[in-house]
Structure 1
Amino acid sequence: MSEVPRAAKDGSSAQATSSAVTYELPWVEKYRPTRLDDVVGNSATVDRLKVIQEDGNCPHLLISGLPGIGKTTSVHCLAHALLGDAYKEGVLELNASDERGIDVVRNKIKNFAQKKVTLPPGRHKIIILDEADSMTPGAQQALRRTMEIYANTTRFCFACNQSNKIIDPIQSRCAILRYGKLRDEEVMGRLKEICKLEDVKYSAEGLGALVFTSEGDMRQAINNLQSTWTGLGFVSPDNVFKVCDQPHPVVIRQILLSCNKGDVDSAMEKLDELWTQGYAAVDIVTGLFRVVKTIDQMPEALKLDFIREIGWTHMRVLEGVSTLIQLGGLVARLAKIHHPKEQFLI
């Protein structure tokens, strides 16, 4: 007969359970909007969803846009508003991590569409297909007829990064909503709200660094904020770039300004510094592309020439030629670009 654990005899297991550590949610989940009014950015598109929410008759939806800008969250907010307490029974969500081949469309989706669910009057069951652009064309074709047969009781919401990966017959059955990249002020405003609620110590430059690294991706901005605060205890630019492990924009800026003066040696010194720190060629090229747009001392035409050269190098790096020589060639080409000043005098 197996021995009874001592903890069970003396009741210490109950104490252990009561004193167990309660793990805190990631801030991305903790501060995920639950109402459309709380969704940040893309106000024109969100307003269209609010009209659907008030009307109650949700069409098939196709929402496309970059990652981390609120597509899936908006659909869930709409579903909560439309279905209320029947949300759990009336919503089926399938993500890219789930199996979504033809068999799933024929069985799981079809069975849910046929299922009888008690909903508020005039409402429909909602099937949310997240990352729909990763569905096989065969599975998308199988959805066409299902969408038409069960349209009276079930509506589909597709969320995807690239709408051109969705076949035309499905696009024509849906109301298409496009989400744009979030503006810096919108991301900054949300970060300040979270900092206030979580009592995070930060500098204005630190939040600016978070906005810079996120590139309009709210999810990444909040994750980076939590990582910096948890790991280093203060949100400053240096701490942010240390946690995000991206080349420091100040060094990138020095490289570009040296190239603008035609000083190849100085630019190469800074480039070597980044390379010896272990940054990949694609990180450095991406940093150059993002920082060159922010340099006010450079005329627009010169910036465009720099961006063109950086773009060509980015293409070569992505094809596999990610060496220091490739980056050195870029620096040399940037240093060769000269524009007569008279051209920019007004």
Structure 2
Amino acid sequence: MNPLLALSDKGKAPAVVSPFSAAAAGETLPWVEKYRPTQLDELISHTEIINTINRFIETNRFPHLLLYGPPGNGKTSTILACAQRLYGKRYKSMTLELNASDDRGIDVVREQIKSFASTKMIFSSGFKLIILDEADAMTQAAQAALRRIIEKYTANVRFCLICNYVGKIIPALQSRCTRFRFGPLQLDQIAPRLDAICSREGVTMTPEGRDAVLRVAKGDMRRVLNVLQSAHAVFDTVDEAAIYATVGQPLPEDVQRIVQWLFSEQFTTAYHQVSALKTQAGMALADLITDIYTTVMAMDVPDAVRVYILDKLSEIEYDLSVGCSEKAQTCALVGVFRVAVDLAERHAKSPTASASAK
């Protein structure tokens, strides 16, 4: 039986249940933490990286690590499971875990990190482990100070830097670490874990709801569990509408209707229809832009027309991000598709298009 899904003895309620008891805490614990893997063999992806780290441990050649990639794909879980394997019950005393987005200044490097790295375990051999999560939030001065500490205390400690954007880590730190990129999880990797957790938590979910969770998560396991737990708390049955209501994104059929209006209706009609649907469904134009992009990419339109639409969508998205009027940008969106229709008609009438069709 998968230890991730096994009931623990702590789940047995005492005679008098306090709202702050361990059992109650387990029931209110976010599923992201409740179902976080604790062993390397429980991780559901990146098998080549896991196998390489296992060889590092088995051969006692553990290097400094730099784990990077999009959020929610197992970077933190991997190094925590690695620490569990390295130290077992001594995990707490042998590991220093810091979130660099909070502890990001040079003082933390000079005090906490240097103090932990410079002390040796009297009755233990081997090295200690310092985990710096979200290391891309560290200041340049803190990163510069860290590089010297890494060199000076390599005999006593190993560092693991975790970040989303490797470009924000200075080259001097990157060169001192073995780098592993964690890509987004595949749907066939997420789906079995999702089904197991639904069964464990008694979630009633339709096949459409299951597909919607996987769709909105975009390879982020953390987002899968957060959305699922939120939808389960509000809705008795987790279906597609429940998922999109939870994340505040427009339903796919609404996006299809909007794109159809943009391509087929005149400017004034399309503008009023889109505005009315946005108001009725409580949509934000910034959310619509992302879904319209996905829809246009899946459509059979000439390349020149697709490039034009995507270019203008990026301009609208930027204008919204800097505070431009949503009403004006909605007009711009309708105008983009009216021009795109004209481009498509001219492309269809061109001799080149006719020859390629034959």
TM-score w.r.t. the length of structure 1 is 0.86
1:47 to 51, 65, 69: 51
Compared with structure 1, are the counterparts of its residues 328 and 47 closer, same or farther at alpha carbon in structure 2 (3 Å cutoff)? farther
The equivalent residue for 1:187 is 190
CA contact (8 A) 2:39 2:85 kept: yes
The equivalent residue for 1:75 is 79
Matched residues in 2 for 1:251 and 1:69: separation? 30
The equivalent residue for 1:34 is 38
The equivalent residue for 1:5 is none
The equivalent residue for 1:207 is 210
RMSD of aligned Cα (Å): 2.4
Number of matched pairs: 329
Give runs of aligned pairs for residues 212-223 of structure 1, distance below 5 A: 212-223=215-226
Matched, 1:335 2:333: no
Alpha-carbon shift at residue 266 of structure 1 (Å): 5.6
CA contact (8 A) 2:68 2:180 kept: yes
The equivalent residue for 2:287 is 283
The equivalent residue for 1:19 is 17
CA contact (8 A) 1:249 1:291 kept: no
Counterpart of 1:28, as a letter, is V
Alpha-carbon shift at residue 48 of structure 1 (Å): 2.6
Compared with structure 1, are the counterparts of its residues 199 and 112 closer, same or farther at alpha carbon in structure 2 (3 Å cutoff)? same
Structure 2: gaps spanning 5 or more residues: 1-13
Alpha-carbon shift at residue 137 of structure 1 (Å): 0.8
Give runs of aligned pairs for residues 238-257 of structure 1, distance below 5 A: 238-257=241-260
The equivalent residue for 2:4 is none
Matched residues in 2 for 1:270 and 1:186: separation? 37
Q: 1:156 aligns to what SS in structure 2?
A: strand
CA contact (8 A) 2:70 2:182 kept: yes
Counterpart of 2:37, as a letter, is P
Counterpart of 1:58, as a letter, is F
Give runs of aligned pairs for residues 298-313 of structure 1, distance below 5 A: 298=301, 302-313=305-316
TM-score w.r.t. the length of structure 2 is 0.84
Compared with structure 1, are the counterparts of its residues 274 and 324 closer, same or farther at alpha carbon in structure 2 (3 Å cutoff)? same
Alpha-carbon shift at residue 32 of structure 1 (Å): 0.6
Provide the identity percentage. Answer: 35
2:88 to 77, 84, 88: 84
Compared with structure 1, are the counterparts of its residues 258 and 54 closer, same or farther at alpha carbon in structure 2 (3 Å cutoff)? farther
Structure 1: gaps spanning 5 or more residues: 1-15
Range 211-220 or range 231-240, more displaced:
211-220
Compared with structure 1, are the counterparts of its residues 208 and 335 closer, same or farther at alpha carbon in structure 2 (3 Å cutoff)? farther
Alpha-carbon shift at residue 284 of structure 1 (Å): 2.1
Counterpart of 1:20, as a letter, is S
Range 192-201 or range 45-54, more displaced:
45-54
Q: Deviations over 1:6-51 (max 9, x none)?
A: xxxxxxxxxx992323131211111111122222333333333233
Q: Deviations over 1:127-170 (max 9, x none)?
A: 00001011111111111111111101101000011111111111
Range 233-242 or range 254-263, more displaced:
254-263
Compared with structure 1, are the counterparts of its residues 119 and 336 closer, same or farther at alpha carbon in structure 2 (3 Å cutoff)? farther
Matched residues in 1 for 2:55 and 2:263: separation? 51
The equivalent residue for 2:324 is 321
CA contact (8 A) 1:105 1:142 kept: yes
Matched residues in 2 for 1:322 and 1:49: separation? 50
CA contact (8 A) 1:281 1:322 kept: no
CA contact (8 A) 1:256 1:267 kept: no
CA contact (8 A) 1:275 1:324 kept: no
The equivalent residue for 1:140 is 143
Counterpart of 1:79, as a letter, is A
CA contact (8 A) 1:58 1:124 kept: no
Compared with structure 1, are the counterparts of its residues 310 and 43 closer, same or farther at alpha carbon in structure 2 (3 Å cutoff)? farther
CA contact (8 A) 2:97 2:133 kept: yes
Counterpart of 2:104, as a letter, is R
Matched, 1:273 2:277: yes
Alpha-carbon shift at residue 250 of structure 1 (Å): 1.4
The equivalent residue for 1:96 is 100
Alpha-carbon shift at residue 303 of structure 1 (Å): 4.0
Matched residues in 2 for 1:261 and 1:271: separation? 16
Alpha-carbon shift at residue 262 of structure 1 (Å): 5.5
CA contact (8 A) 2:46 2:182 kept: yes
